[in-house]
Structure 1
Amino acid sequence: MKSNILLRHAVRGLAVLSCAVVLTGCLATKSYVDPTLPRVARADIAAPANLHPVQVAVEFRTRGTANAAGTAEVQPRVVAIAAESGLFSTVSREAAGPDAGLLTVMIDNVPLEGENAEAEGFGTGLTLGAVGSMVTDTYVATVTYSRGGETTSVDVRHALHTTIGNHAGPEGLAPVSMLEGSHQVIDQIVWNGLDQLADKKAFE
């Protein structure tokens, strides 16, 4: 089965998993989408009176370095949300004409936040998962809209927490797979970015 790009890069360089594979064969992982960022849907965003076409440009990065494979996977989700938002007359990945705007979404995934992530992962492996650990993938995004010589940008931050072995997740959050969690994070980033740009009247 083809591995998922977001899933692979969310755990890239993760000593937790390498130790787990060597010492136990498999340790259970559960992911939790950070609740700090508000959930936004189309009904929450006020559409402008006049809609314009938009070209969507996406870049996915890992620790600040452009990730072409990640970009190829994330881009369809961003385009789909832009189309669903009701903020534009048409949505395209290609140049959309002289009256069109340009929506740029840059998402940087910074895996394994915290200085002790590797050491904790090694401990998890040695204890066969009896002492688990939790690591956090931080996503830092900039969402920009340009049209008619005017440019508006907003910053959006999100996070995905993942437990390995016998470790409790964040209180009050339901566990999901890493794949589902990464998709939720990307989607919420884009919806929040569009909402913030709408609040700034960027699409007027």
Structure 2
Amino acid sequence: MNSHSSSDNIEKGTIEYNPRAEQVQEPVFVKRPSTIANPGPAGVFAFASSTLLLSLYNAGASEVHTPNVIIGMAVFTGGLVQLLAGMWEFPRGNVFGATAFSLYGSFWMSYATILIPGSGILTAYTNKEELAHALGLYLTVWLIVTVMFILPVMKRHVAFTVLLSILCVTFILLAVAEFTGNHNITKAGGITGIVTGAVAFYIGVGEFLAAEADPIFRLPMGMRR
């Protein structure tokens, strides 16, 4: 690498010349700020609305007992929108947002796949108890994933810590309900899920307002830089 080509690249803003790296010919790339709008509100609203609908069903609202109405919401809102939000978080450099939105988007898509009659997943289980235990294990795995998500935010974002903690309680109750067959525990999981959705809506509105130059008000999030 000669000095002329290095200075040209520096002027173009592609690399930063590092004299220490001259012998090994390794340019040091400069991170550029992203101009992509914050996808966080879209991801949080998608999570909140899907969680609220499923939790209303689990809580027994309006005497609805067939869960298939959640399929479209789970695939497109909870699944696709969150997955896209996660992909858009990557170029913004937000590791937590990219990981959380992407994985929870996959959660909703996988949950919808279980409920789709044509997938054959439910009909593959001839024993109802085995199916219930399989769903319990499924929910337990997502409980573990959610606990892992609490660790990076508990010192810097109170609102997300509260959201994920309540979500953990929801997963615990729903998993226990599947293992025990106790419908009252399912209702309890539905109620905590409704609270989870409400907290998620709070965060979504807060981030939505924060994106405005002159919002009518701001919601406290308990964030630390």
Provide the TM-score with structure 2 as the length reference.
0.25
Q: TM-score, normalized by length of structure 1?
A: 0.26
The structure with higher relative contact order (CA 8 Å, sep 6+) is: 1
More strand by share: 1
Larger radius of gyration: 2
